[in-house]
Structure 1
Amino acid sequence: MQKETLTDKQGISLIVLFIMGSSLILTTAGAAGKDLWIAIILSILIAIPIVLVQARLLVLFPEKDLYDILELVFGKYIGKGISLLFTWFSFFLGILVLRVFGDFISVTSLLNTPKVIIMFFLCMMCIWGVKTGIETLGKWAEIFVIGAVASILLITLLLFTKMNINNLRPVLYDGASPIIKGTFHALIFPFTQTIIFTTFFSSLKNKSINKVFILGLLIGGAVLFISSITDILVLGSNASERMYFPSHATVILVEIGTIAANFEILITSAFLVGGFIKVSMCLLGACNGVAKIFGFDDYKFLVVPIGLLIISFSHYVHHNIMDKVDFALYIYPPYAFPFQVLLPIIIWIFAERKKKQLSN
């Protein structure tokens, strides 16, 4: 298999779009209410050392991905067993994200189109992207990220006159408990989901993996912070919490003559770019995992069948939007915590010991 390489800028762009992904159209840290902005800042600060642990794994073993590292550190059988867990995590996250975007497009744009058709075409784009390889996706991300971030900033500026600072007051009115809960939710969705990148980020051109992970986290976090606080300032926390897609509802309020609809299309395009990258990264992580577990030299022949499985399962993973919201609030955080936080820390501890043994 030909070695694929990424520049630092491409790696950062992929992480930024991945973080933006589904978190821009859903409410993250919504449990914090009007103190959501505090929860997002805290979650970014807490995520920094966790993301550095994720990056450290790749630094310890250059040109190795997480699946290679697991087998090297824990041995063939235990390593493949843990690899299977992370392969499942990547696969299932792809299912969840694809369903989010299927619901989003179905509710906001294509009301009479069967959801499975929408998800089919979305995932086929991702299948095509992953088949072209991570290097091509990185080049596209380098271009897309500029337009996506610029769109968010432009909409924020256009909504400035509709913002009400009183929607953020009083600060800490409900105490610290909602902020703690919101911080945990934002930490899990989306900031530490970057563990996905360790499953294939083995070939950055420059050996500055820490910089790639941290800058990706900070830029993506800043965009998410701006988008989320704009929703609260414009809609208010109560209205924002009642809506399935508050960012889309906020954009509709942009009024510049007759071109408001064009801005809705613009921001929807930015959302879809993030979704395309996020599903593609999950699909890539799952395919690479299956290839490593079974000893295949290349993952690309697995992309179509695994992509079709993601489409099939995404149609049945939730009964309706309310079921999806309940899953995101109450089930996903404790489910994802071991994959995104606990296991990476444990693997890192054992990896440091293994590195010392190999050095001696």
Structure 2
Amino acid sequence: MEKISKHQLFVLVMMEQIGSTQLWVLGIEAGRDAWLAILFSMLPGCLLIWVFTELQKNFPEDNITGIISKLLGKIIGYPLILLFALVDVFNSTRNISEFSDLLNMTFLQNTPSFMVKVLFLLTILYISSMGIETLARLTEIMLPSVLFFIILAYILIIVSGNADFSQLIPIMGNGPGPILKASYPLIVNFPFGLIFVFMQFWHFSTSQKSVRKITFLAVILSALLLALTQAIIVSTLGLGVASRATIPILEVIKMINIGDFITNLDGLGIILIFIEGFYMTIIHILSASMILTSLVKMSDYRWLTIPISIFILWYSGIYEPNYSFHVQYLLHQAWQQFVPLYNAVPLLLLIIYWLKKSYMKSNGKR
């Protein structure tokens, strides 16, 4: 059986959390308090992660397929398991469409979107064929580079004098209402609720006792970075431009100009877009493959990544007409997918486990 170390689990979680959330101004509904909405959302997000890890702690050798099967049985459990797999495929489709559209708009204007998706998926299939351990080792190499370039970009934009942090004042000028409205269900679930996907990966950890601690640490550090990102975007572009920009972080990077010497760093933003899109997509493809493999009792999840990727390539061509549709649908996705499947179902599963455990203890006493 494949195994991943504590450090490898940490970098996988953090890379998934950074993902596409760096591209947007999350919580823009809260205005200049968007950064604060990230930090506030982290608290209920961590409560969700506690529920996820509590399930994992009581079923350390199982992924979500095994947990649902043991708690709900086949009749109720199998359709729900299949739904989770389909949701991962759906999210992979959205991710591949999002990032291929972004690359088409910014860097590869003359390259057909279909070919960009093919290149994305071929790269994903190659890494997937080597297993989760190889992906984890690759992430150990990539994450420090990604964090370095993100922080470097922020330092350069501040040094260039384009960041005006007075645009973040007054803090909570409109009270807590806009922050609360922006936080749930969107930010609490995107990115924090997406940790649910690691229900397929936690059982690979060499240290089951450290899973919760490692996940919390990665999520908190990611949240701080995301909050900084929102603050940089709003203070550099201004609230109006930030809310309208297609790729706000890329607009920020374009503004870097130090003595007309350090400038034109668009390529840096494109590289980050590709890397983050790659990880967001491969994590969900592997999750879907692992769920379906456990469901049909296959021995190797890697084989299923091929038909899943072919389906995604086809489905991405008919599902999303453009990038604007992708952005507008995100809030609808939160209510249709995140709230019932990533919030309600895990909580219900944990309650069912507690009830079953209590019932068995009471019968044992008798």
Q: 1:312 to 1:358 in 2, by over 3 A?
A: farther
Which of 313, 325, 328 does residue 327 from structure 2 map onto?
325
Residue 30 (str. 1) matches residue 32 (str. 2): no
Name the counterpart of 1:40.
38
- Per-residue Cα deviation, 1:112-151 (whole angstroms, up to 9, x for no partner): 2111211111122112222211111111111111111111
Name the counterpart of 1:268.
270
**Structure showing greater Rg:** 2
Alignment RMSD: 1.7
Given that 1:43 and 1:187 are in contact with CA atoms closer than 8 Å, whether structure 2 keeps it comes out as yes
Name the counterpart of 1:215.
217
Q: 1:119 to 1:352 in 2, by over 3 A?
A: same
Residue 202 (str. 1) matches residue 203 (str. 2): yes
5 Å matches for 1:128-207?
Answer: 128-160=126-158, 161-184=161-184, 185-207=186-208
5 Å matches for 1:84-123?
Answer: 84-123=82-121
Consecutive unaligned residues of structure 1, counting only runs of 5 or more, are: none
- Deviation, 1:193, is 0.6
Question: SS of 2:204's equivalent?
Answer: coil
More displaced stretch, 195-204 vs 3-12: 195-204
CA distance in 2, matches of 1:205, 1:85: 29
Consecutive unaligned residues of structure 2, counting only runs of 5 or more, are: none
Return the TM-score normalized by structure 2.
0.93
More displaced stretch, 173-182 vs 159-168: 173-182
Given that 1:37 and 1:225 are in contact with CA atoms closer than 8 Å, whether structure 2 keeps it comes out as yes
Question: Aligned residues: percent identity?
Answer: 24
Given that 2:13 and 2:195 are in contact with CA atoms closer than 8 Å, whether structure 1 keeps it comes out as yes
Question: SS of 1:148's equivalent?
Answer: helix
5 Å matches for 1:171-320?
Answer: 171-184=171-184, 185-207=186-208, 208-256=210-258, 257-261=260-264, 263-320=265-322
Return the TM-score normalized by structure 1.
0.94
Question: SS of 2:129's equivalent?
Answer: helix
- Per-residue Cα deviation, 1:155-192 (whole angstroms, up to 9, x for no partner): 11111121112211333344433212211221121111
- Deviation, 1:352, is 3.1
CA distance in 2, matches of 1:174, 1:13: 37
CA distance in 2, matches of 1:235, 1:74: 50
CA distance in 2, matches of 1:130, 1:215: 26
- Deviation, 1:74, is 1.2
